[in-house]
Chain A
Amino acid sequence: MNDTSEIVMTDDIDITLSEIKRQCAQTDDLNIMNVEVCGIRCSVLTVEAMVSTSAMSDLVFQPLMSLRYCQSGDDIFDYLTRQSLLSTQRKTVSSYKEIFTMLFSGFCIILVNGVSKCVALGIQGFDRRSVSTPDSEQTVRGSQDSFGETVRTNLSLVRRRMKTPTLRFEMLTCGKLSQTDVCLMYLADRADAKMVETLKKRINGIELDTVLSSGYIEPFVDAGYKKSFFSSVMTTQRPDVACVRLNEGRICILVDGSPFCLVCPSLFMDSFQTMDDLCTKRYYAAFIRWLKYFAFVLAVVLPGLYLALVMFHPEAFTLKLLLNLYVSEEATPFPLAVEMTLLVVMFEIMREAGIRLPRSVGGAVSIVGGLIVGDAAVKSGLISAPLLIVVGITATSAFVVPQLEQQISVLRLIYIVSGSAAGLFGLAVCTVLFAANICAMDELSVSFLAPLSPFFKDRASGALFRQDLRSCAKRRDTIERYEQG
């Protein structure tokens, strides 16, 4: 599409139509219906499969055809814009750029001869996926609906849960060609105005041609995206989680076409919290949270630690355990580090295959990979049983914290390499490096490790235990408290 911003619309419908046709060239999905209303030429423009035909018939054709006493194009235009309520979304458009934006967003454009403006009516009727259960964040007792691809449907999912006038939705547009709707959501009385402005600036500064999912804007929203190993922008598929975060003064971003909502800024401990925490007893929620922290450590460190201990520090094992390990490892043909790396890489391959394949086949991959190949490898003496147990525990632990699966996968490999190269010395150096990398994250001036580091006495327990809902009702803490000056 050429740049249309400079060209001014005229009141001659033929010139307007020819300009539109010129801009769109020979695109086949543009429908132009010409009609005469009270003897005045009008044109109705739509895009194929983007509008509802029944709504179009009821809200556009019938009212237009029933008009009897119009003397000029201005009368028809006045009727459409002031004397009737044909659609909930109605806009007067006076530039070609706007015409195309509205047209390709599913609006119907009505041109009237003798008027240098046109009317856009929202009668969208494109196919959309219905609200379904969240795939990536399952809960037992939480709600079972998730965000979909249509941004306006997603807004309604949030609005239904937050019936407050302070909930603000700000629509921005990203992508020079895709003109994607990006919605900034926040509670005006809780979110920090400076944070909102900063995010708006960052989103408006995106100069991509297309924005097709939330992943496109994440690097622009997260200032430390390149330097940090972890992400300070969290994603969620659940409207209830988005509402919890909004209530904490965070800012959510929805991108049209993406079923994931970005939450800024996010904290490390967010990855260990679920909606189920709020539906269970506090002691059980605390137990589960501790379990998740432990699973995270296991998933990252266990294979590297096993290698480091077996290869460099066998004296740390008790004699019985050492003899057992020795017997198992003695029978295998590969060096221990190679064995472990191969097994972990194989696991990653199978996991990736399981994700990309249809669900029915994905299950089969797990059975073939996990049971048949694993069992055969141990029986044939290619790998040792303790090693398989270690990788099995590691893999299962990783599933406990799905939010951090990318980081876990890579960190695990790094720990394997450093553990096998330098034992616990290597692991210690790696740990300090990653600790420093995490500590350096302070997106929007909020430390990623808050409230543990820097330490907030009254909020630190929230990282380890679930907050008491009664105390939450009394006190209104927002993310702003963690801001560093």
Chain B
Amino acid sequence: MNKISPLQLGVLALCARCFSMMTYFPYTGSNTLVFMAALVISCALQGLMLIPAVVLCKREGCGLCEAAAKRSVTLAKTAALLFLAYFIWDIFATVGTFAYFTDQYFSDQISRIPAVICAGTAALYLATMRSGVLGKCAGIVFVLFIAFFVILFLSAADAPDMSNFHLAQRDLPKTLMNDVSGEFVRNRELVMLVFLLGDVKGSCTKAAYSYLAMKLVILETVMGFAALVLGELAQQTDMPVFYLSCYSNSSLIERYDAGFMSVWTMLAVLRLAALVHCAGRCVKVMFPKLTGNSSTIAAGVLPAVAAAALLLKRRWKTVAYLREPTVLIAVTAAVIPCVVYLLVKGRKKAA
């Protein structure tokens, strides 16, 4: 049985978000404090966006597809198809981002094709497990992530540079909106969170909002610290966390980029696993006759095959830096649950 605690689901989604955070921050040209304010607004918007999914989950006591199935099988299959399409795109983009940044960061240590094959295989193994197992595993990886960042911060805390902490910004509202939008599209894991809400054993509200709260704290802390340590560089680069790990040193360790790679890889595997797991379940809703792990394997292999073609042609930069439309996340994470909820409610009233 797929059951996950609210906190575990929150941490699982957070791990997926931390992967994006460690990979790169989209550079918008604003200063740090403006970006930090944008994070708060973006989180508030995401909170609003999660309301339909949380209400649906609470009222129906099950996941989105199961709730849709109460209305009709066709509705359930349509919802599953839309989510599957999104998950396949997300898997594809995650694989691409992972491959591209492996090349960017660590090309001298490991080449991208073996790296993607290893991480993909590991993710496929994880994806065949229950969502509760993924949640527990996320807990372990999250502890390692926190431990790494504490060590990183302790090693980097040298002479803080406060020059970026101000709100003096040309055309502040426009920049702020730009930052909000830029941050918002980095939250693709919201769709995964919405999809897995039905598995929560306990309060769905707690799962959704604990994720948002933890994410806000972590992103603000990391961004703030990176700006304090790196100063102007944090504002100019897309990869402040990576630079932070290269900059930090102690009497024992000269630089932490190798540690960065370990934690980043673990987060990537976990994110991929969660996405393949969700995609596999969508396939299962669409083709209930599939048994065992065949649906998960099918869901994982499809985008992997598509990724292989691009892997060989080095076109990943396009995918990695692609800024997908905000509306895509909003439709999948908010509009679909809203529609399903209204349809199910309508049927109940009619009955």
Contact = CB atoms under 8 A, between A and B. Distances in A.
Contact of B129 (A309, A319, A436): A436
21 contacts: A313-B109, A316-B253, A316-B259, A319-B254, A423-B258, A425-B109, A428-B261, A428-B262, A428-B266, A429-B269, A431-B144, A432-B141, A432-B270, A433-B126, A435-B137, A436-B134, A439-B133, A440-B129, A452-B139, A453-B140, A455-B139
Nearest to B121: A429
Contacts of A455: 5, 7, 139
Nearest to A441: B133
B144 to A, nearest CB: 8
Nearest to B253: A316
Given A423-B110, A428-B265, A449 B136 contact: yes
A436 to B, nearest CB: 5
Interface stretch (B18-26, B112-120, B174-182): B112-120
A316 B255 contact: yes
B201 interface: yes
Which has the most chain B C-beta neighbours within 10 Å: A312, A453, A455, A485? A453
Shortest 8 CB-CB contacts between residues of A and residues of B: A313-B258, A439-B136, A428-B265, A428-B262, A453-B136, A424-B262, A435-B140, A440-B133
Interface in B16-41: none
A439 B140 contact: yes
Nearest to A449: B136
Interface of B: 3, 5, 7-8, 106, 109-110, 114-115, 118-119, 122, 125-126, 129-130, 132-134, 136-137, 139-141, 144, 201, 251-259, 261-263, 265-266, 269-270, 273
Given A309-B258, A436-B133, 13 more contacts: A316-B259, A318-B251, A422-B118, A428-B269, A429-B122, A431-B266, A433-B126, A436-B273, A439-B140, A440-B129, A453-B8, A453-B140, A484-B132
A435 B141 contact: yes
A318 to B, nearest CB: 5
Nearest to A433: B122
A423 B108 CA distance: 11
A28 interface: no
Given A318-B251, A485-B201, A432 B266 contact: yes
Interface of A: 308-309, 312-313, 315-319, 422-429, 431-433, 435-436, 439-440, 447, 449, 452-455, 484-485
Contacts of B259: 316, 424
Nearest to B201: A485
B186 to A, nearest CB: 22
B263 A428 contact: yes
A contact patch SS: helix
A134 B114 CA distance: 49
Contacts of A309: 258
A33 B259 CA distance: 79
A422 B134 CA distance: 24
Contact of B109 (A312, A427, A429, A484): A312
A422 B133 contact: no
Contacts of A429: 118-119, 122, 265-266, 269
A443 to B, nearest CB: 14
B258 A315 contact: yes
Contacts of A426: 118
Contacts of B144: 431
A387 B342 CA distance: 66
B269 A432 contact: yes
B98 to A, nearest CB: 11
Given A429-B269, A432-B126, A318 B133 contact: no
Given A432-B141, A484-B132, A318 B253 contact: yes
B265 A485 contact: no
A308 B106 CA distance: 14
A429 to B, nearest CB: 5
A124 B89 CA distance: 73
B137 A432 contact: yes
A453 B5 CA distance: 10
B117 to A, nearest CB: 11
Contacts of B252: 318
Nearest to A455: B7
Nearest to A318: B254
Given A316-B256, A485-B201, A422 B114 contact: yes
B151 to A, nearest CB: 12
B122 A425 contact: no
Contacts of B266: 428-429, 431-432
Contacts of B122: 429, 432-433
B115 A454 contact: no
A214 B43 CA distance: 55
B114 to A, nearest CB: 7
Nearest to A317: B254
Given A315-B258, A428-B262, A449-B136, A436 B110 contact: no
Which has the most chain B C-beta neighbours within 10 Å: A431, A439, A454, A484? A439
Contacts of B109: 312-313, 423, 425
A65 B252 CA distance: 87
Nearest to A309: B258
A324 to B, nearest CB: 14
A425 B129 contact: no
A454 B136 contact: yes
Contacts of A308: 258
